Amino acid sequence: MSSGWQDRGKWGGFKPTPESIPPSGVVFRFRSDARKIPVNVTPLNPINFLLRAAFIVPNKLAIAHPDVPHPSFYTFAVWAQRVQNLAYALIERGIQPGDRVAVIAPNSPMIADAHHAIIAARAVITPINIRLTKDSVDYILEHSGSKVILVDHAFVHLVENAKVPVIVCNDTGRPDDPYEQLLASGRRFSRERGWLGLDMEMNEDAAASLCYTSGTTGRPKGVISTLRGSYLAAIANAYETRMDRNSIYLWILPMFHACGWTYPWAITFAFSTQITIRSADPDLIWHHIINSGVTHYCAAPLSSIISSHRARRLDDSRSITAVVAGAAPTSSLIGQLEKLKIRVTHVYGLTLAKLSSFEVCSETYGPFTRNYHRPAREVDETKGLADEDSRIMARQGHAFVTSDEARVVYQAKEGDPEDAELKDVPDDGVTRGEVVVRGNIKNRFTSIIAIPRPRRKHFAEVILGVAIWLFRNPDGSIMILDRIKDLIISGGENASSLSIEQELSRHPDVLEVTVEDSTFRPKDRHAAFEKELKKYAAQVLPGFARPEWVEVVDELPKTSTGKVLKHVLRGRAAKL
């Protein structure tokens, strides 16, 4: 670990702007009118994690952004001052409690700042996917009613002609950067009143974020999460992945995706150091894995991490915790990551989805289940997880510690959903149902602002769910079979595309596979491999689930979060 920024070569050479340097004697408390709130109540608010880190470990490196022309490095004390500056700057620009502030940026210090500063200003962060079309961005800006836009210099084209103030960040950390000038203006506006000049949010159920789906099917839909929910979900994420002050978190998951699954706050909770990289380039990821002491990352099941030519098994002294979700990882992928000493914590969650039988959408602050059955002590270090272990690890598992049970249910009674009776499926690993969860932490279904139908505030029994077909194993863990819309009807049977993919991906020559329902048969290509794969399928899959044709491609079309774009494939298949 002598190369890279950890030798403080780059870090030591970097100077934060003068306005980033905190004065002496900082008080890390918000102003609170104690007469309005009993002394035994301080509302849950994830901003407190950063203030606490800045108080207890002020000189620890909080955030490193090394791979840009002007790298930047901030300690917790300096970072907290920058966050405070941004909060004041937003207030100076008229941001009121509850207002939405849009952020359009790749992983970089600015969007990390925004996750803390916007809630410090009692406003609501609205992160926007940088890969959306301008049309979708326009829709979200309008729909969210965002009052100010923070935008990275590479995505200014997405906010042309915006009706509200736009502040551009050139991602340089230098005094002439417009974003740094914004922070400097906040510092001046604060008149050094510090944190005590900012009001504590008294209502822990106030909104923290407003996140939108990527809108692959229709308009993006938005979901509001709360401070309390974000606080508790962040704690659960840090605990479940064993993050602590010795951890170094690499940002592969885009922070704009469901607020980075609450990791912006989980990292400060744990006093961990974070590294931001602007794109999930596999070579750059491996550079940091090898040289920067990375201990944790979150990501979709990225096969590119395995196929990178820089991929290699880590030293004996190290391993990495990879928190994988976004799409169901195959057991094959899990096994290959384990061989590199990248230990998979398979989690599952959703930003917004619809239970098939209900007009209900939900969000779970990123992950809310994890697979608990990895027999950590029994892993053969030379081989990674045994075959069976990888299969078990591919299950979605059990609800997080701050969540209630994740149930698998079916609708026992037809008719008005209000009166629908949901029954749990038996734990037989066969009977299929849909997943429903209940918030133990007010972190489910806090608000849906994009669904026009009248919404019910209460449900007969449960609650939230996703159109996902799954079952519960005898050990109580849940296992996703498929999204209901991806089911393949074949010979009168429901074939799960996911389980077909799971099996085919175990073939040693298959890097990734996606299975799609189609009556078309494309012209023969890669005939030998097709034959081989069909033979393999005949050994591992029942007749109705075997592929009728195989297409070998260089790359699969994917969303920014690593999900295969099945509807694109459908289009391609139709044209074959």
| Rounded CA separation 368/146 (Å) | 28
| Rounded CA separation 571/398 (Å) | 36
| Rounded CA separation 278/284 (Å) | 10
Q: Which is nearer to a copy of itself, 424 or 516 (CB)?
A: 424
Q: Please tell me whether residue 410 binds a copy of itself under the rule CB under 8 A.
A: no
SS3 37: coil
Residues 32-71 that bind a copy of itself (CB under 8 A): 34-35, 37-42, 44, 48-49, 52, 55-58
Q: Please tell me whether residue 238 binds a copy of itself under the rule CB under 8 A.
A: yes
* Binding characters for a copy of itself, 310-349, by CB under 8 A (x = yes): ----------------------------------------
From the CB of 352, what's the least distance to a copy of itself, in Å?
A: 14
From the CB of 413, what's the least distance to a copy of itself, in Å?
A: 16
Query: What does DSSP assign to residue 192?
Result: T
Contacts of 34 (CB under 8 A, 6+ apart): none
How big is the chain by its Cα radius of gyration, in Å?
Answer: 24
**Centroid of chain to Cα 199:** 29
Residues 449-468 that bind a copy of itself (CB under 8 A): 457-464
Q: Which two tokens stand for residue 297?
A: 């990352």
Helix, strand, coil shares, percent, the chain, to 5? 35, 20, 45
| Rounded CA separation 403/237 (Å) | 11
| Rounded CA separation 16/22 (Å) | 11
Residues 150-179 that bind a copy of itself (CB under 8 A): none
Q: Please tell me whether residue 398 binds a copy of itself under the rule CB under 8 A.
A: yes
- Render the burial of 140-173: b for 16+ CB within 10 Å, e for the rest: bbebbebbbbbbbebbeebbeebeeebbbbbbbb
Q: Please tell me whether residue 399 binds a copy of itself under the rule CB under 8 A.
A: yes
| Rounded CA separation 112/265 (Å) | 9
Among 158, 439, 566, 573, binds a copy of itself (CB under 8 A): 439
From the CB of 301, what's the least distance to a copy of itself, in Å?
A: 23
Q: Number of residues interacting with a copy of itself: please give it, by CB under 8 A.
A: 57
For residue 455, is it left (φ>0), alpha (ψ between -120 and 50) or beta?
A: beta
- Between CA 207 and CA 216, with CA 211 as vertex, the angle to 5 degrees is 155
Helix (H) or strand (E) holding 530: helix 527-540
What would you measure as the largest C-alpha separation in the chain, in angstroms?
Answer: 78
From the CB of 83, what's the least distance to a copy of itself, in Å?
A: 17
Q: Please tell me whether residue 446 binds a copy of itself under the rule CB under 8 A.
A: yes
From the CB of 23, what's the least distance to a copy of itself, in Å?
A: 13
Residues paired with 276 in a beta bridge = 251
Q: Please tell me whether residue 239 binds a copy of itself under the rule CB under 8 A.
A: yes
Q: For the chain, how many helices (H) and strands (E)?
A: 16, 25
Q: Please tell me whether residue 442 binds a copy of itself under the rule CB under 8 A.
A: yes
* Binding characters for a copy of itself, 266-305, by CB under 8 A (x = yes): ---x------------------------------------
From 104, 107, 58, select the one nearest 81 (Cα to Cα): 58
From 261, 262, 308, select the one nearest 281 (Cα to Cα): 308
Q: Please tell me whether residue 21 binds a copy of itself under the rule CB under 8 A.
A: no
Which stretch in 235-243, 314-322, 496-504, 544-552 sits in contact with a copy of itself by CB under 8 A?
235-243
Which stretch in 91-99, 231-239, 481-489, 516-524 sits in contact with a copy of itself by CB under 8 A?
231-239
Task: Return the residue matching tokens 């979900």.
Answer: 233
Residues paired with 479 in a beta bridge = 471
Q: Which is nearer to a copy of itself, 251 or 269 (CB)?
A: 269
From the CB of 446, what's the least distance to a copy of itself, in Å?
A: 5
Task: Return the residue matching tokens 């008080």.
Answer: 27
Which stretch in 13-21, 107-115, 315-323, 393-401 sits in contact with a copy of itself by CB under 8 A?
393-401
From the CB of 101, what's the least distance to a copy of itself, in Å?
A: 23
| Rounded CA separation 271/519 (Å) | 54
Q: Please tell me whether residue 401 binds a copy of itself under the rule CB under 8 A.
A: yes
Q: Please tell me whether residue 424 binds a copy of itself under the rule CB under 8 A.
A: yes
For residue 436, is it left (φ>0), alpha (ψ between -120 and 50) or beta?
A: beta
Q: Please tell me whether residue 235 binds a copy of itself under the rule CB under 8 A.
A: yes
| Rounded CA separation 532/243 (Å) | 44
Residues 253-272 that bind a copy of itself (CB under 8 A): 269
Q: Which is nearer to a copy of itself, 192 or 461 (CB)?
A: 461
Q: Which is nearer to a copy of itself, 5 or 400 (CB)?
A: 400
Among 427, 516, 517, 530, binds a copy of itself (CB under 8 A): 427
Q: Which is nearer to a copy of itself, 235 or 284 (CB)?
A: 235
Contacts of 159 (CB under 8 A, 6+ apart): 104, 137, 141, 149, 151, 166
Residues paired with 275 in a beta bridge = 64, 250
From the CB of 197, what's the least distance to a copy of itself, in Å?
A: 16
**Centroid of chain to Cα 167:** 25
Q: Please tell me whether residue 242 binds a copy of itself under the rule CB under 8 A.
A: yes
Among 192, 244, 421, 548, binds a copy of itself (CB under 8 A): 244
* Binding characters for a copy of itself, 190-229, by CB under 8 A (x = yes): ---------------------------------------x
Residues 372-391 that bind a copy of itself (CB under 8 A): 372, 377
Q: Please tell me whether residue 438 binds a copy of itself under the rule CB under 8 A.
A: yes
Q: Which two tokens stand for residue 124?
A: 């609501």
Binding site for a copy of itself (CB under 8 A): 25, 27-29, 34-35, 37-42, 44, 48-49, 52, 55-58, 229, 235, 238-239, 242, 244, 246, 269, 372, 377, 398-399, 401-402, 404-405, 424, 426-427, 438-446, 457-464, 476
